[in-house]
Amino acid sequence: MRSKNPKQSGASLIFRLAARNLFQDKLRFIATIIGIVFSIVLVTVQLGLFLGFQTMVTTMIDHAPADLWVVSRGTKCFEDPSQLDKRDRAKALAVPDVTGAVPVIIGFTEWTVPNGGTTPVFMVGSDDGGLRPWNVVEGNVASLSEPNAVAIDRSYFERLGIRAIGDSTLIRDRKVVVTAVTKGIRSFTTTPYVFTPLDRAQTYIGASPNNISYLLVHVARGADIARVRNRLRDKLAKTEVLTPDEFRKRSQTFWLFGTGAGAALFGGALLGAIVGTVIVAQTLYSSTKDHLTEFATLRAMGSSGLYIHKVIICQALLSAVIGFGLAACVGLAIVRLTADSALPVVMTPALTAGLFLLTVVMCIASATSAIVQVMRIDPARVFKS
């Protein structure tokens, strides 16, 4: 690295000095970029899984046409097998400004795989105005009114032993026929959702006709939802009345933090950031150490500490931009590959911006050790060599 007049400390000179230091040892540069890419891809996957998980745990709540949810007291999430009395529906409908109260039943049962064996499925039973399948790509929702009809997601065909719409099998020794196929309705527990009308779902689950899980309450337009909610609480004993947002947050809190799943994903992301920071710090330190004489020359010629800081930080920023660009390409490829998987990796503009900021912070933090080493240089060493 040739030292120039310290007065010519413009941005272009800083960039040239930083680029020359960074690219001089190609193997070291490649190691730096690999470290950054590995770190950011790991963080991307962990946080992308977290976002995908966060979305999947509330997918049923998000698609249910309800102004209020009536749930059994203590219900933690949508998949919690809570029980209500179907007679509560009449009480709810008696509340002023309530225009509808659609019952929903959920529960696990056994699906007989046509080629042998059984597999657990999660039944979702509801009638018109309730929780019905969406993103239907084959057949239609109206077909569920046909005898023995159910709807399943295409991604579970292999597990359920289904090859095409119209195939049939058994649930609890009762015949079922696939009359509608959805795309993208996946369970974060990996247990397939099966949609069918309320009375049929009760039979498949083995519940009595009076047993339901939820009431989806519709409130008249313009009505005071808070007032309707309070009246429902007074009418319905041993229940909770939640807004969709409250139920959504409760489900996310339970699955992401109550079960430890969120902590595991965050832990993986933190590990990736630490590994990347250490690799980049080691590489920048090694690169700076190889150029100590040149930096000493700059200091002997009167270059300020700030100028040298800028050169080293510029090296870090160059590493960040190149590494993030490659990591982003890998991340997008992973998003596409997992789009139809049981647990997709989700990327959002906010996450992308956050990852870029993380990369920059990680690289600048890594440059600290190199800056400390340079500032300890005795400029007199130039004249001793």
Between 381 and 282, the higher pLDDT residue:
282
Q: Residue ranges of the domains in the chain?
A: 11-56+261-384, 68-242
Give me the pLDDT at residue 9, please: 46
pLDDT, one tens digit per residue, over 327-385 is 889 989 998 888 777 678 888 888 888 888 888 887 777 777 667 766 666 665 555 55
Confidence of residue 8 (pLDDT cuts 50, 70, 90): very low
Q: What are the angstrom distances between the C-alpha of 154 and each of 164, 192, 291, 312?
A: 9, 10, 59, 53
Give me the pLDDT at residue 378, please: 62
Give me the pLDDT at residue 28, please: 74
Give me the pLDDT at residue 167, please: 92
- Could you tell me the pTM of the whole model? 0.73
Long-range contacts formed by 165-168: CB under 8 A, 24+ apart = 165/138, 165/139, 167/114
What percentage of the chain exceeds 70 in pLDDT?
84
Residue 293 pLDDT > 70: no
Exposure string of 217-239, with b = 16+ CB inside 10 Å and e = fewer, is bbbeeeeeeeebbebbeebbeeb
Confidence of residue 90 (pLDDT cuts 50, 70, 90): very high
Q: What are the angstrom distances between the C-alpha of 373 and each of 276, 277, 323, 376, 378?
A: 20, 17, 24, 5, 11
Q: Helices then strands (H, E): number in the chain?
A: 13, 12
pLDDT, one tens digit per residue, over 192-243 is 999 999 999 999 999 888 999 999 999 999 899 999 999 999 988 889 999 9
Between 19 and 279, the higher pLDDT residue:
19
Give the HSE-up count for residue 137: Cα atoms under 13 Å, Cβ half-sphere: 9
Give me the pLDDT at residue 364, please: 78
Q: Per the structure block, which two tokens stand in for 338?
A: 């997992």
Cβ–Cβ < 8 Å for 236, 70: yes
Torsion of CA 212, 214, 220, 226, to 10 degrees: 140
Residue 296 pLDDT > 90: no
Mean pLDDT of the chain: 83
Cβ–Cβ < 8 Å for 42, 268: yes
Give me the pLDDT at residue 361, please: 80
Alpha helices in the chain (DSSP H): 11-24, 26-56, 59-63, 88-93, 157-160, 198-205, 225-235, 244-253, 261-290, 292-300, 305-337, 349-375, 381-384
Give me the pLDDT at residue 283, please: 64
Q: Per the structure block, which two tokens stand in for 376?
A: 């300890």
Q: Per the structure block, which two tokens stand in for 184?
A: 């993208």
pLDDT, one tens digit per residue, over 133-161 is 999 999 999 999 999 999 999 989 999 99
